[in-house]
Amino acid sequence: MFKQIKNWLGSVKGFVTCPNCGDSYWWKPTSIIWYSSGRGLSICTECYNNPVNLNINQIKHSLYKYHWDWKNVEAVGTALIKFKEESEHETKKNKQEKEVSTDQKNNLQH
């Protein structure tokens, strides 16, 4: 089924959408980014797994559209910046580990 049709069906059924990509939670699994104690923002798992593609301004804009309190929106913004930074750090670390293991393999072959 086309994404647009699935999103349309989702909105008819009253499901909210991912603030980042706009896809309906009717057909997409969701994950949560915690921005303060006990308060979390749900985004779809696909966006959650690709923090590089998170558009913070777009997400904030979506939250204002949903009539979120500006204090919470700012808190989400801060949490998202941290989330992106941490994931970039993780990606770099994983890359370095991969490079090291490739070197080790090369050493074994010589």
By CB under 5 A, name the binding residues for Zn ion: 18, 20-21, 44, 47
Strand partners, 40: 34
CB of 95 to Zn ion, least distance (A): 24
The CA distance from 73 to 85, in Å, is 18
Instruction: Compare residues 7 and 20 and give the one whose CB is closer to Zn ion.
Output: 20
Instruction: Compare residues 53 and 91 and give the one whose CB is closer to Zn ion.
Output: 53
CB of 47 to Zn ion, least distance (A): 3
CB of 103 to Zn ion, least distance (A): 37
Neighbours of 68 (CB within 10 A): 17
Instruction: Compare residues 24 and 73 and give the one whose CB is closer to Zn ion.
Output: 24
CA 91 to chain centre: 15
| Rama region for 41: left / alpha / beta (φ>0; ψ in -120 to 50; rest) | beta
